[in-house]
Amino acid sequence: MTEGTKIALWKLGIFIFLMGTWEICARTGVIDPFWTSSPSLVAAEFWKSLGKNEIVYHTGVTMWEAMTGLVAGAIVGISLGLLLGVSRVLGAALEPFIIALNSLPRVALAPLIVMFVGIGFASKFLLAFSLVVVPLMINTYEGIKSTDPQLYNMLRIAGARRDQVFRKLLLPNCIPWIFSALRVSISFAIIGAIVGEFISARAGIGYLIDSAAGAFDTTAMIMPLIVLMVLAYVLDRLFVKTSDRLLRWRVATH
């Protein structure tokens, strides 16, 4: 049996154990299903919602808000990080402001964002964007800063132009940092979209959870969360597979 098969079996075993324990505790009264629901109740709620196309529609709304915010945040964040990293003077001058901006709890700005742009798509997009753009900018900037100065000096001594140094050394060095930030940013973007939906929305996973909370329906609250967790996990696995393919050159050089 290969190591990959063993790991897969362990994952499956842990999942079955957790779901089985949850179901047994709910059925035997160890825990109150009113507060915790159970796997069987969540599954029944899922099929009910799927039959009415509710979960598909609301999940699609949330993912559209999150992914558009992620893409825009990635473009802006990576571009700014590259600009700051290439310009040593500008990077050093703006670094304290970047750190201060990163410490700002962007989720706390949600009410202000909703107040300025309304309860529609724009507020969820901006929240997802705000949670993504700063980490990507910082990681890109740090990736360039982490470049070995000896390699940089060797290229300059060899007569390499600034654009050649950027393409051959600085950019390849910060790509793993960018991919690492992008992986974390997938969850950040989803969180931003849901927070915006919690505050005010007419559709989305956050809207479903908020509506279920108002009705004290624990099962209807947990079901969309689990759907979102599964979807986020699938996206993460796809991203890891893609990044492993694109970064094969990095493994080969170590």
Opening angle at CA 59, ends 54 and 210, nearest 5: 75
- Provide the pLDDT confidence category of residue 31 given band limits of 50, 70 and 90: confident
pLDDT one-digit tens code per residue, 236-247: 888 888 877 777
Per-residue pLDDT, 254: 44
Residue owning tokens 């915006």: 196
Poorest-pLDDT segment among 172-176, 225-229, 247-251: 247-251
Mean predicted confidence (pLDDT) in 51-78? 90
Opening angle at CA 10, ends 242 and 8, nearest 5: 35
User: Hey, what domains does the chain have and what are their CATH numbers?
Assistant: 39-252 (1.10.3720.10)
Pick 81 or 102 by higher pLDDT.
Answer: 81
Q: What is the CA radius of gyration of the chain?
A: 23
- Provide the pLDDT confidence category of residue 24 given band limits of 50, 70 and 90: very high
What is the C-alpha to C-alpha distance for residues 241 and 234, in angstroms, rounded to an integer? Answer: 11
Alpha helices per DSSP H over 87-170: 88-103, 110-117, 121-145, 149-157, 162-165
For a pLDDT cut of 90, what percent of the chain falls above it? Answer: 11
Mean predicted confidence (pLDDT) in 133-155? 80
Per-residue pLDDT, 67: 93
